[in-house]
Chain A
Amino acid sequence: MSKSVKAGLLYACILILGIGAPLLFPDYTFQLALLWIMILFALTWDIAGGQMGYNSLGNILFFGAGMYICALTQVGLYYDIGAYTAASGAIKVDYTPQQYFTGLILGIALAAVGCVVLAAIFGRIVFGLRGPYFAIGTLGVALASAELIGTWGYVGAGGGISLPVYPGDPDARAMLFYGLCALAATGTFLFLRWLYGTSFGLALNAIRDDEEKAEAMGIHTTRYKTVAWAISGFFLGIVGAVFGNMTGFIEPLEVAFPTTTFGIFMVLMVLLGGKGTLWGPVIGAVLFHIVKEVTWTYLLGWQWITLGALIIVNVIFFQQGIVGWMREKWPERFGLVVDRRATISSQEES
């Protein structure tokens, strides 16, 4: 069986699983949607964190920003935002399906674009930092955003915003948001698969391996770093917008900017699966989500300890992650081989 046929079969299996899972287990639709979100989290974190070697602790910024941009678009299209948030849900809101979907689609689009703009602005500031300073700098940006939203009365402050109610059957609603999450994650994966095959992927890796060398060779390092972060922002903005609508209510600390949960999970999932690889983040996210859901269900009270133990084992014994370990074990499967034919010239002569 050729390599492309094998890959095709793999993708077909995943597609069937993706569509079939919520139909077979309708009770778990929300959890399965969350799994796609986790995969997207890991994939987007790995762009800067794995491929480029810039460990961001603040990517959650784009998740929350996307969520708020979308919510404000949905509300602001048909209501006065200040009055809507001041009433904390006491206004009688009635969206026709047309209004609802117009707001949702426009909101998601604006969330994506808005996060790209945010990445460009904040990238100018944080990409002057390196190593641990970059990590802390990005963390600061994310925490500050949460605090800012939390005190800004116009957008609901700490009280949050209730999102427009889906005009239809709850099961259809669950399937819609599941579908959007699956689509966003799949889209991210396919985009990155293409991206890592271009010069862009090479430039990110060059920056990771030796940024000074990359500068000395004339690579536009700032340009690459900013665009890389903007790509993370784009997809995180989309999934943030979708997640806000999926939960139905958003507020800054626990839902929009959960720095200590989702924000850290992004990093852990990538470390578990293997930094700087395409499949590592996906495998890490799936494994992490399963462990998390199982321990939260069957080991309640010990769930954080189990998760902590997993992290410790990962960081001490498995620093390169699952895919990284596989690459060390079977380098030839990843194309790292010596070519026994000596040189070009000797081939030409022979």
Chain B
Amino acid sequence: MSQPVIEVNRVSKSFGGVVANHEISLEVPQGKITGLIGPNGSGKTTLFNSIVGYHPIDAGSIKFKGLEISELNVQKIARLGLVRTFQQTRIYGKLDCMQNMMISIPHRTAAWIDMFAKPSPKTQARAEQLLDFVGLYAKRRLLAGSLSFGQQKLLEFAMALMNEPEVLMLDEPTAGINPTLINGLIDRLRRANTEFGITMFIIEHNMRVIMNMADSIYCLAHGELLAHGSPEQIQNDQRVIDAYLGAH
């Protein structure tokens, strides 16, 4: 098994009296696609938020490439190359698609003077290529806010790729997207993984999608880790079927 790029070790997080995550441990291996499933309210998004530094965790440790990141803020973690997308898609609505892409360049090495640079032709070309990759090239001069929900989702995905992340954490990438588009999206996610070498960690409710794509899957229930294994193992795990998948 390849080297884990994200290591979550006994992480707990409560909101008031509600225990959202209880001593969760998992690993995301380098270069693979890892899935995270579980019923609504099982703590998937909370775990995502904990990893990217959106809120402090109560206990445990989170490492990215061996570096402890549980004390770092959102921006610093993003600049390390760990980028997430949102369940409620978030784009810059009053900028056009190209502008959305051009401000999504990696800010890892950004010096003060870089604030005042004009986007280079290379950046523009890359933005156009990636918009083409997700099928939004023709709409690149439209305000992002005027796109449909599905298109905004694709734009957000393209923006994340523009950021050249090492790990991409996607929170329900196919939610709200029509079935024909989903196939295209699966294909693009796979290509991002194989062609760009991006490690992926994906929350997904669509079982067809996640069982197809993931190399391994973690299942959460009631804030605790229920099961871990290959898609076949998860599909046949009686605990997962009881808690989440339901009998067929």
Interface residues, chain A, with chain B CB atoms under 8 Å away: 195, 197-200, 202-203, 205-206, 208-210, 212-221, 223-224, 227, 276, 335-345
Contact = CB atoms under 8 A, between A and B. Distances in A.
A336 B86 CA distance: 26
A210 B103 CA distance: 12
A218 B116 contact: no
A329 to B, nearest CB: 15
Contacts of A197: 118
Interface residues of B, number: 44
Given A198-B118, A203-B103, A342 B163 contact: no
Contacts of A219: 75, 103, 107
24 contacts: A197-B118, A198-B117, A199-B103, A199-B114, A199-B115, A202-B99, A205-B92, A208-B94, A209-B94, A214-B92, A214-B103, A216-B84, A217-B104, A217-B159, A218-B83, A218-B163, A223-B115, A224-B115, A335-B141, A336-B143, A338-B139, A340-B138, A343-B138, A344-B132
B132 A205 contact: no
A216 B103 contact: no
B237 interface: no
A218 B129 contact: no
Nearest to A199: B117
B75 A218 contact: yes
Contacts of B91: 209-210, 213
Given A218-B106, A276-B94, A223 B112 contact: yes
Contact of B115 (A227, A340, A343): A227
| Closest 8 pairs (CB-CB, A-B) | A218-B78, A209-B92, A202-B103, A213-B90, A218-B79, A344-B132, A218-B107, A215-B74
Contacts of A205: 92, 94-95, 99, 103
B75 A220 contact: yes
Contacts of B52: 216
A218 B108 contact: yes
B115 A344 contact: no
Nearest to B104: A217
Interface of B: 52, 73-75, 78-79, 83-84, 86, 90-96, 99, 102-104, 106-108, 110, 112, 114-119, 128-129, 132, 135, 137-143, 159, 163
A215 to B, nearest CB: 5
Contact of B116 (A195, A216, A336, A343): A195
Nearest to A227: B115
Interface centre among A205, A210, A218, A341 (most CB of B within 10 A): A218
Contacts of A337: 141-142
Contacts of A276: 94
Contacts of A209: 91-95
Contact of B163 (A198, A212, A217, A338): A217
Contacts of B94: 205, 208-209, 276
Contacts of B137: 339, 342-344
Interface centre among B86, B92, B112 (most CB of A within 10 A): B92
Contacts, number: 116
Contacts of B143: 336
A52 B115 CA distance: 15
A26 B150 CA distance: 61
A343 B132 CA distance: 6
B132 A206 contact: no
B95 A206 contact: yes
A220 B73 CA distance: 11
B126 to A, nearest CB: 12
Nearest to B106: A218
A210 B88 CA distance: 12
Given A217-B78, A336-B96, A345-B132, A200 B138 contact: no
B115 A200 contact: yes
Contacts of A343: 132, 135, 137-138
B54 to A, nearest CB: 8
Contact of B107 (A212, A217, A335, A340): A217
A49 to B, nearest CB: 15
A124 to B, nearest CB: 15
Contacts of B129: 344
A220 B79 CA distance: 9
B142 to A, nearest CB: 6
B144 to A, nearest CB: 8
Contacts of A203: 103, 115
A9 to B, nearest CB: 26
Contacts of B135: 343
A213 B143 CA distance: 17
A217 B83 contact: yes
Given A210-B90, A215-B75, A339-B138, A220 B110 contact: yes
B115 A206 contact: no
A339 B110 CA distance: 32
Contacts of A208: 94
A238 to B, nearest CB: 20
B140 A210 contact: no
A227 B112 CA distance: 10
Given A205-B99, A218-B79, A223-B115, 6 more contacts: A199-B103, A199-B114, A200-B116, A205-B94, A216-B86, A340-B138
A277 B107 CA distance: 26
A108 B113 CA distance: 25
Contacts of B117: 198-199
A206 B104 CA distance: 9
Given A227-B115, A336-B143, A342-B137, A216 B74 contact: yes
